[in-house]
Amino acid sequence: MENEGQEFETSNQQSNYGSTSDVVFNPTFSNIGQEEVAVNSGIGREEDDNPNYEERQLVIPEHAIQINDNERQEPVIINGSGWSTLKIPVPMFKVDKEPYVPMIVSIGPFHHNEPSLRAMQTQKQRFLDHLIRNRTWQPILEESLKNAMRKLEKKTREFYAYDFQAIEPDDFVQMMVLDGCFIVELLRFYEKKYVGGPFFKTRWTRTNISRDLLLLENQLPMFVLKEIFELTALMGEATLITLALRFFEPLRPGKDKFDEGMLNKHANGGYIHLLALFHSTLISGNNIYPQQPAKSDLRLPGKGWVHNAKTLSYAGIKFKKTSGSILNINLTHKTLNIPTMVIDDSTSPMFKNLIAYEQNNCDVAPYFCCLALFLDSIVDTVQDVKILCDAGIIEHAMGRDEEVANLFNKLTKGLVFNINEEYCYMTKEIKNINRHYEHYKIRVRVRHLLTKLNFTRSLRLLNTCFSILITVFVIMIQLKSDNSNVNSSNTLDSPPPLSS
């Protein structure tokens, strides 16, 4: 794997800049340091990869990947508790495409062989070569991997709910081998702190690859990863799940660490893909409420569940940062406890793909759908962001508070969720917050009225006017005193009257 970092950057530039394009869009992450150029929606042209491509009118597609009518089929449910279409809902994709589209690496069939992502194909092959070189049974290992993936091909195609007829069986199997071995070996490299891997010497590589591996449309079935991991396992190494959790740990909203208990708890869990695994670690805190029956009598004040942070502060609520799961939000007396959230360039894709995963699977409780509604409500303006920043609840490196407010306000765009019909873990706490607000509603109205009247500015103006009046009064007294002294002096200095 010599000189991988340099060769990757060179090949990436050639891939991004060396082809003609109709649309140029800005990258999601500013730290990549280069523009991503692609065709149409930023994905590339179909004729480059599909020999059966037919000319048709050029349009900007509604979705990043176009499925022809003859490729569509009824979804195949793998099991009642874990199946997901792995497809971003069209309403969510229309609102904001960037959080759902891979930046540098494609995994699985949805974005397979896209021109803007081809640079990583060379790196995938090198990861596969490295994996094979470091096994004593290397002469037969690659063929064993291909045979295992051939046996899983049908099950894997069904996993995506589409059969992807445009991808030939041999190409599909090769994709499974390359993508699966890349992920497995990547997790091992991270565990070893990238020893011997110059590819990771660029500062942005690991962050953006981990971001791409948590995209809903960039998932491989966990049974594929487990098969590859078991065929290439080394003596004494950690489990696949443990390696994955350690790799994704920096993407946790609070940047908190996994303890050994958490790692052990999830070590042998049954997860359909890596995003499902990451989702499960965020909803398993000790203080998160268990699922309860649906239905609630909540009413929506204004644009959301609860009033914004500024209004709640007028009602006497104090904000306090806590640690632990991002979902563990509760009101204790007059203090609203919210775990610290570190906002950076990976936050929006992470939240939105967790929400998309819940939207695509009715068997998954909508924890992050509920959280998104709460965050969109409590953060309305820059003033709300400042209140939460001052309390240590929000820490961000976004440059401006407006960017944080916009991020939260976009989380619910295209979201299909009815809090009065579906389960939500926050129902109890939202009722407590709204009950407190109703108790102090008059105080809030008075504060809002004073704000509208700009009372502080008016008071400052009155103080200024009063100071001017006092100054004028003092000057008048001083002038009167001076005039009296002059008159007195004139009387003393005048000559005596002449005698007759």
383: helix, strand or coil: helix
Query: Hey, which of 73-82, 115-124, 129-138, 185-194 has the most confident mean pLDDT?
Result: 115-124
Q: Which is more confidently placed, 481 or 345?
A: 345
Tokens 């990869």 identify what position? 49
Going by pLDDT thresholds of 50, 70 and 90, the confidence category of residue 163 is confident
Q: Is 96 exposed, middle or buried (0-12, 13-18, 19+ CB in 10 A)?
A: middle
pLDDT exceeds cutoff 80 at 290: no
Q: What is the mean pLDDT of residues 481-500?
A: 55
Q: Give dist(CA 256, CA 279) in Å, integer.
A: 15
Say if residue 37's pLDDT is above 70.
no
Structure tokens at 7: 């060769």
Of 494, 390, 427, give the one whose Cα is nearest residue 288: 427
Most distant pair of Cα atoms in the chain: their distance: 149
More confident: 113 or 338: 338
Q: Which residue has the higher pLDDT, 163 or 37?
A: 163
Q: Select the more confidently predicted residue: 181 or 83.
A: 181
pLDDT of residue 31: 34
339 pLDDT more than 90: yes
Q: Percent of the chain beyond pLDDT 70?
A: 66
At residue 180, what is the residue type? Answer: G
Which pLDDT score is estimated for 105?
94
Give the β-pairing of 341-343 and 394-396. parallel
455 Cβ contact partners less than 8 Å away, ≥ 6 residues apart: none
DSSP run (H or E) holding 473: helix 455-493
Residue-averaged pLDDT of the chain: 75
Structure tokens at 320: 């306090």
- List the single range of 55-64, 157-166, 289-298 with lowest mean pLDDT: 55-64
Looking at the DSSP bridge assignments, the partners of residue 343 are 396
For residues 101 and 82, give the distance between their C-alpha atoms in angstroms, rounded to a whole number: 23
Average pLDDT over every residue of 123-137: 86
Residue 53: pLDDT over 50: no
pLDDT for 338 beyond 90: yes
Q: Is 187 exposed, middle or buried (0-12, 13-18, 19+ CB in 10 A)?
A: buried
- How many alpha carbons lie under 13 Å from residue 469 in its C-beta half-sphere? 6
Pairing type for strands 341-343 and 335-339 reads unpaired
Lowest mean pLDDT: which of 51-55, 142-146, 303-307, 338-342? 51-55
Read off the pLDDT of each residue in 246-267 and give the average, rounded to a whole number: 82
Pick from 67-71, 164-168, 219-223, 435-439: least confident? 67-71
Per the listing, tokens 């081998």 go with 177
Sign of the torsion formed by the C-alpha atoms of 275, 355, 402 and 252: negative
Average pLDDT over residues 283-298: 54
pLDDT digits (tens, 9 = 90+) for 203-239: 778 888 999 999 999 999 999 999 999 999 888 889 9
User: How does pLDDT run across 402-425, given as a tens digit for each residue?
Assistant: 999 999 999 988 888 777 667 788
pLDDT reported for residue 58: 29
3-state secondary structure of 25: strand
What is the mean predicted confidence (pLDDT) over 23-48? 32
Instruction: Report the length, in residues, of the chain.
Output: 500
More confident call, 345 vs 200? 345
pLDDT at 458: 57
Which pLDDT does position 194 carry in this prediction? Answer: 66
Beta bridge partners of 335: 318, 332
Region 457-477: mean pLDDT is: 68
Percent of the chain surpassing pLDDT 90: 38
Q: What's the pLDDT band for 54 if we cut at 50, 70, 90?
A: very low
What's residue 104's pLDDT? 92
When pLDDT is cut at 50, 70 and 90, the band that residue 50 belongs to is: very low
Tokens found for residue 425: 């873990």
Question: In whole angstroms, what is the distance from residue 393 CA to residue 12 CA?
Answer: 38
Beta bridge partners of 38: 23
pLDDT 10s digits, 367-399: 999 999 999 999 999 999 999 999 999 998 777
Confidence at 65, pLDDT banded by 50, 70, 90: very low
Distance from C-alpha of 248 to C-alpha of 244, rounded to nearest angstrom = 6
pLDDT for 96 equals 86
Sign of the alpha-carbon torsion through 491, 496, 498, 500? positive
Specify which of 176-185, 235-244, 458-467 reaches the highest per-range mean pLDDT.
176-185
User: What's CA 97's distance to the chain center, in Å?
Assistant: 13
On the 0-12 / 13-18 / 19+ scale of CB atoms within 10 A, 229 is buried
Which of 73-77, 263-267, 320-324 has maximum average pLDDT?
A: 320-324
pLDDT band for position 439 (50/70/90)?
confident
User: Counting beta carbons within 10 angstroms of the beta carbon of residue 262, is it exposed (0 to 12), middle (13 to 18) or buried (19 or more)?
Assistant: middle
Least confident of 8-17, 43-52, 139-148: 43-52
Asked whether residue 300 carries a pLDDT value surpassing 60, the answer given is: no
Write down the pTM of the prediction. Answer: 0.73
First to last CA, the chain: 131
* Count of other CB atoms within 10 angstroms of residue 274: 26
